[in-house]
Chain A
């Protein structure tokens, strides 16, 4: 009986040991667990033309496939998004539930700072080579403070200025290639000459507050400088006393009053279509929409005009506005931070940027990518932008708090059409800042 019992326990023990060994062996042969990353990709990674084709044909899909091939065990699911305030709200909800994407494209500066609590600080993860060769780190550093937490990798630089129809400008007896207007007074005089030919000189889009913020708001920062933007925003100084802010509004208002803009500047939604069809001589434009303008007007008729100088004593001496407006960030809830950083670093690699630039229109956020690398060395427009981008003013909307910028978008059309004076609006901005306190 005892022998039988002993035999029974021995068999049981043998079975347990075998199972454990098999289990261990199986674990060893499995290797590292596969990692799956999700990536919410916005306009910096695919364009509207690509969106009409199957996702398998997009440039970002090819880049992801290359990454997966070079990093066995890591797969990436690309989920295309339209980057908007609604998308950010969705991201917030997903992030607090800890089931958001591992990697997400966001806007930089004041847009990304409120999301700090759900983003992974990348300071300890970023390879030194990336820090050295990628531009725009200040746009993703918390509160723009040197040495602060880095909340994302800059991706794609867009730049904007004024774009014009060369044929219409020529018809008014001017050649801006040879003799562009250098001050806003000269610019205004040139617009008057265009108006005399029966064409709308300057086409604005006021529907979503894009009249000023997108590009022409540059004139504010030219006169006032970034420090003033910050002190206005936190209430240390007043918008009411900000000469740059008031001058910008007065200048734009004067253009409308003189009939130098489209009559529906406050509400129009079709400025791009009208500029493309030759109904407007000048409008605002950036790298992102210039390709479409160029295709519509023909390269011979499409021109880019740096901002004429408004201020007699400018604090910012650039002539275009732009920079790293978008970035890719990693959620701090991700279970795979190392792999996510590896992927983001890959997206920001020279090779990936060159591949991406075939489909998206932004400039690479790298200092070691040349126009030759991108095949743009014979492209006069991009060469010009590339030269001008060596000295640019950073996006104003990414530099001030979103609630203040929202108010500007909302009221610029009213100021433009003269229903509110620039000073009244500046006072309203000061009240808004005070109420927020």
Chain B
């Protein structure tokens, strides 16, 4: 057998070896994606109506006010990302420093993460309802004027949603960043201490640069999650209201698709736009963090 023949045979065997994975990927990733892209260019109603209408769904969406409003809403909710990373960082540092009761708090902080998102959402909705515990507390301490309809206006409704998102993610962020901190050789901190650095200097000039990749991952993941994963919170806390004030693109996809006279073609168009937006944002973030990491190196 010549060398060329042997190489060809090896190539064939390798291709056969990875064929199942490729086929499964095509079946479960490429086909649904291609199907959604095609259906976004139809007037599909969930049944048999599926006429090709080109880019009409996209153009119609771009003409509506609610599309732009829901897009802006997604960016407003992004505020939760730096807050949850910051809080997670503080929590992980307290755990890393083995503050009093750290073992107990390590479990406690992670607790929200294992509760169903919808349950958390409903709890926040009840807590912040007009006659809920938050307003009762405010009234009982004489702050009657602060006992408002939290879910009735855009600003406060967003405040409640963002608080819920931060609260549920503290544990995840804490554990993730703690993992990053644990991978740093303790002698680095010892050396910094010997050099006379204080706590803040150690945090900003030693620790943060060393866990840059962890924070980058956390940032990229949390941004993508904010665009695609906050549905249960919006559904259970505000139901997208008042009006479209807290509706996100992901929630709008659901509303278009699961309405009684479902506009699934439009829902698919929204899903494609969402995919493009998340992909672009992830690409930008990776570029920025690559540059930041270059500077740190």
Contacts and interface: CB of A to CB of B under 8 A. Distances in A.
Contact of B259 (A107, A208, A264, A402): A402
Interface of A: 85-86, 88-89, 92-93, 95-96, 107, 110-111, 114-115, 117-118, 207-208, 263-264, 266-270, 401-403, 406, 410-411, 413-414, 417, 419-420, 435
Contact of B47 (A117, A270, A406): A117
Contact of A414 (B239, B243, B262): B243
A267 B130 contact: yes
A226 B262 CA distance: 24
Given A85-B260, A264-B130, A403-B263, A96 B48 contact: yes
B154 to A, nearest CB: 9
A414 B244 CA distance: 10
B258 A86 contact: yes
A85 B259 CA distance: 6
Given A264-B130, A270-B131, A410-B244, A417 B261 contact: no
Interface of B: 45-49, 60, 63-64, 125, 129-131, 149, 151-152, 239-244, 255, 257-263
Interface centre among A107, A270, A410, A413 (most CB of B within 10 A): A410
B261 A114 contact: yes
A264 B93 CA distance: 42
Interface SS of B by simple majority: loop
B152 A266 contact: yes
A115 B47 contact: yes
Nearest to A114: B261
B146 to A, nearest CB: 14
Interface SS of A by simple majority: helix
A419 B155 CA distance: 14
Contact of A267 (B151, B240, B244, B263): B151
B69 to A, nearest CB: 12
Contacts of A267: 129-130, 149, 151-152, 241-242
B149 A266 contact: yes
A417 B152 contact: yes
Contacts of A401: 261
Contacts of B260: 85, 88, 107, 110-111, 114, 402
Contact of B243 (A85, A403, A410): A410
Contacts of B64: 435
B246 to A, nearest CB: 11
The 6 closest A-B pairs by CB, nearest first: A264-B130, A402-B260, A402-B261, A92-B46, A114-B261, A267-B151
B242 A89 contact: no
Contacts of A85: 258-260, 262
A96 B49 CA distance: 11
